């Protein structure tokens, strides 16, 4: 896990400016505090900050082979197999990220078809003068590209492009609508004018400061459900999950996992305990707010059942107000998911003991766990409802202009997801994997982890698990109104202490209650922020914060607070000035 950046300038441009390169790599230091490297060749520059996980001694980047140079952010879990598939190759290191360079020399842009892992990769070929940018099919690791005055720039985080002065700090109004209504933004275009995401599974060929070609691997299989019986499906699932967790544990540094009281993390800790001779180190977060959903007790039961070493932390209101500017500041490509709060604190605690954490992201999408999937498969007269059909501000009239185009990106994703002979359920899952998963859940995981130089790994988001589970018949995912049926059956057999058929409790953070208690104080401060004043009526914002009567009011207040802090940091370019109160009152 690392941070990468670089410049791909046109032939008529001046060579890369060392000051710009220094700013680029400096802005990504938190992603790789264990070392840095660079290669400047003519008008192409590749930069790398390293978080050392595998091959601690010789794995510094860039890597060189023939006329090619590589920098990478991520982990290639099948790197040992790839080495065996390249007989006669003279490897210079034992790093997991060196085999992709030799694969590229052999296969060209199709090299990514052999990779099993999470990655953002840049390869410069000096003879052809091309640069290849690749991102893993699930979008676990980020990569961004921008057109600049003299060519192209890329980086693991948009904020590096902003800090280096390569792109102006301005927002796309349509993306602000999406963010407020959905809590994340869709598609290739980010919220920043001029910065695009390299999409999940995309490989882009660049030369002379221009994009020449784009290819993309879709991680979601097309086609109707398989004809398979439940016993066969269970055996296949067990093999796929075991193999994936085993691969995701490959590390030369200590690792642990995040444990909730839910199905996905219970599956992971069960498999980790099966594969490890030493107790698994597990971390769980809870809250001090009365009535808040708290997973610590059930997580402790699961941890004891497998002999894990369990560490529970309590996230308090005081901690949130103290650190929220830092937390929001880490979300340069913004997601307003309030789960950023416990994720950030868990990563901070985990970093004291480990550098790698396994997490359960992707389980709901692959196995059909969300309640919205059940509604999406029903006709309207039985309560069926389109996913992501309602925006957060539809019934909270505080914005200056009512959002009208915020669902355009989702509509395009719906159309793509319905192709390929998929059932309604499979289409709903594919729909979520297009935008919600990479641009909310995985983005949150990446930024919260990397803020503390911790690598987050997601064993459910693996090609083997996807092949074993996604095209199962609908009744093996959704049965008796309950999602993830096949995974629950597996857990019932392998870890009954997890109570796999208990109703899904969901995960909530009591931000609404915390904001409500401070509404009279927070409202005027949020309303006075330039970013909020541009999009909302300040008087209505103050009234909303003073009178939070329903959940949606509290959630709207959370989004306005997030946007105030986000806009201050990433558009105004102002650092956090202390806690929430100090930051919002500073100029």
- Count the neighbouring beta carbons within 10 Å of the beta carbon of residue 552: 16
Backbone phi and psi for residue 496, each to the nearest 5 degrees, phi listed first: -65, -20
CATH topology classification for 230-369+440-498: Rossmann fold (3.40.50)
**Residue 114, CA atoms < 13 Å, CB-side half-sphere:** 21
The full DSSP string for 316-357 is: -HHHHHHHHHHHHHT-SS----TTHHHHHHHHHHHTTT-SEE
The full DSSP string for 294-314 is: --HHHHHHHHHHTT-EEEEEE
Q: Residue 380 has what pLDDT?
A: 65
- Look up residue 189 and give its two tokens: 């275009």
Q: Are residues 437 and 583 in contact, defined by beta-carbon separation less than 8 angstroms?
A: no
Q: Residue 213 has what pLDDT?
A: 96
Burial (CB count within 10 angstroms: exposed 0-12, middle 13-18, buried 19+), residue 317 = middle
Domain residue limits, the chain = 2-216, 230-369+440-498, 511-585
The single residue listed with the structure tokens 């699932």 is 237
- Look up residue 386 and give its two tokens: 């389109």
Instruction: Identify the CATH number of the domain defined by range 2-216.
Output: 3.60.20.10
User: Do the domains at 2-216 and 230-369+440-498 have one common CATH topology?
Assistant: no
pLDDT 10s digit of each residue in the chain, 587 long?
Answer: 689 999 999 998 999 999 999 999 999 999 999 999 999 999 999 999 998 898 888 889 999 999 999 999 999 999 999 999 999 999 999 999 999 999 999 999 999 999 999 999 999 999 989 999 999 999 999 999 999 999 999 999 999 999 999 999 999 999 999 999 999 999 999 999 999 999 999 999 999 999 999 999 999 998 999 999 999 999 999 999 999 999 999 999 999 999 998 999 999 999 999 999 999 999 999 998 876 778 899 999 999 999 999 999 999 999 999 999 999 999 999 999 999 999 999 999 999 999 999 999 999 999 999 999 988 888 766 767 788 889 999 999 999 999 999 999 999 888 899 888 899 999 999 999 999 999 999 999 999 999 999 999 999 999 999 999 999 999 999 998 899 999 999 999 999 999 999 876 656 789 999 999 999 999 999 999 999 999 999 999 999 999 999 999 999 999 999 999 999 999 999 998 899 999 999 87
- Look up residue 480 and give its two tokens: 């008796």
Backbone phi and psi for residue 14, each to the nearest 5 degrees, phi listed first: -70, 155
Question: Which of 238, 281, 240 minimizes the C-alpha distance to 259?
Answer: 281
Q: How far is CA 80 from CA 83, 125, 537, in A?
A: 5, 24, 58
β-partners of residue 70 are 63, 123
Q: CA–CA separation, 560 vs 566, rounded Å?
A: 10
Q: Is the dihedral of CA 180, 181, 184, 189 positive or negative?
A: negative
DSSP 8-class letter at 14:
P
Question: Which of 142, 136, 154, 107 minimizes the C-alpha distance to 201?
Answer: 136
Please give the model's pTM, rounded to 2 decimal places.
0.96
Q: How far is CA 249 from CA 185, 257, 357, 402, 494, in A?
A: 32, 10, 9, 48, 20
- Count the neighbouring beta carbons within 10 Å of the beta carbon of residue 443: 24
Q: Are residues 247 and 461 in contact, defined by beta-carbon separation less than 8 angstroms?
A: no
Q: How far is CA 59 from CA 95, 96, 504, in A?
A: 5, 8, 43
State in Å, rounded, how far the first CA of the chain is from the last one.
36
- Distance from chain centroid for Cα 581: 29
Q: Are residues 476 and 488 in contact, defined by beta-carbon separation less than 8 angstroms?
A: no
Q: CA–CA separation, 441 vs 494, rounded Å?
A: 27
Q: Residue 499 has what pLDDT?
A: 93
């Amino acid at each position: 896990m690392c941070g990468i950046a670089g410049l791909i300038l046109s032939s008529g441009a001046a060579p890369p400016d060392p000051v710009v390169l220094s700013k680029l790599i400096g802005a990504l230091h938190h992603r790789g505090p264990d070392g840095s490297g660079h290669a400047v060749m003519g008008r192409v520059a590749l930069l790398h900050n390293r978080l050392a996980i595998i091959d601690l001694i010789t794995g510094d980047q860039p890597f060189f082979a023939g006329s090619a140079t590589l920098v990478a952010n991520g982990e290639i879990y099948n790197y040992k197999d790839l080495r065996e598939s390249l007989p006669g190759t003279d490897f210079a290191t034992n790093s997991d990220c060196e085999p992709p360079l030799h694969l590229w020399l052999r296969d060209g842009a199709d090299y990514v078809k052999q990779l099993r892992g999470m990655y953002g990769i840049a390869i410069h070929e000096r003879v052809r003068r091309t640069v290849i940018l690749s991102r893993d099919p699930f979008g676990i690791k980020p990569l961004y590209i921008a057109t600049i005055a003299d060519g192209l720039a890329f980086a693991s985080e948009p904020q590096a492009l902003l800090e280096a002065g390569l792109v102006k700090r301005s927002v796309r109004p349509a993306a602000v609508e999406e963010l407020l209504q959905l809590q994340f933004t869709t598609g290739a275009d980010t919220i920043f004018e001029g910065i695009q995401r390299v999409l999940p599974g995309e490989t882009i060929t660049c030369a002379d400061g221009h994009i020449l070609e784009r290819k993309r691997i879709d991680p979601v299989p097309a086609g109707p459900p398989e004809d398979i019986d439940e016993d066969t499906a269970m055996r296949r699932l067990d093999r796929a999950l075991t193999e994936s967790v085993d691969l995701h544990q490959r590390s030369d540094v200590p690792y642990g996992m995040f444990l909730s009281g839910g199905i996905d993390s219970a599956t992971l800790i069960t498999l980790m305990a099966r594969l490890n001779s030493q107790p698994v180190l597990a971390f769980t977060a809870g809250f001090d707010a009365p009535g808040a959903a708290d997973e610590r007790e059930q997580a402790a039961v699961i941890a004891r059942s497998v002999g894990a070493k369990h560490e529970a932390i309590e996230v308090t209101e005081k901690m949130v107000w103290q650190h929220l500017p830092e937390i929001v500041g880490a979300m340069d490509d913004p997601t307003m998911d309030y789960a950023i709060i416990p994720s950030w604190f868990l990563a901070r605690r985990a970093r004291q003991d480990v550098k790698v954490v396994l997490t359960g992201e992707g389980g709901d999408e692959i196995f059909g766990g969300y309640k919205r999937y059940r509604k999406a498969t029903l006709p309207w007269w039985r309560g069926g409802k389109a996913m992501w059909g309602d925006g957060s501000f539809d019934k909270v009239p505080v914005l200056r202009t009512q959002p009208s185009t915020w669902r355009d990106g989702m509509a395009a994703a719906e159309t793509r997801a319905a192709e390929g002979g998929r059932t309604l359920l499979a289409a709903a899952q594919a729909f979520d994997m297009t935008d919600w998963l990479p641009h909310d859940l995985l983005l949150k995981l990446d930024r919260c982890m990397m803020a503390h130089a911790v690598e987050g790994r997601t064993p459910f988001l693996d090609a083997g698990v996807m092949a074993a589970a996604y095209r199962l018949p609908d009744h093996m995912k959704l049965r008796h109104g309950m999602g993830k049926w096949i995974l629950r059956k597996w857990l019932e057999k392998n870890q009954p202490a997890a109570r796999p058929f208990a109703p899904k409790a969901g995960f909530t953070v009591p931000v609404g209650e915390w904001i409500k208690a401070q509404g009279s104080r927070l409202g005027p401060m949020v309303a006075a922020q330039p970013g909020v004043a541009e999009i909302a009526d300040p008087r209505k914002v103050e009234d909303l914060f003073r009178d939070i009567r329903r959940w949606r009011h509290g959630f709207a207040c959370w989004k306005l607070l997030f946007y105030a802090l986000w806009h201050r940091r990433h558009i105004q370019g102002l650092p956090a000035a202390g806690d929430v109160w100090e930051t919002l009152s500073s100029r």
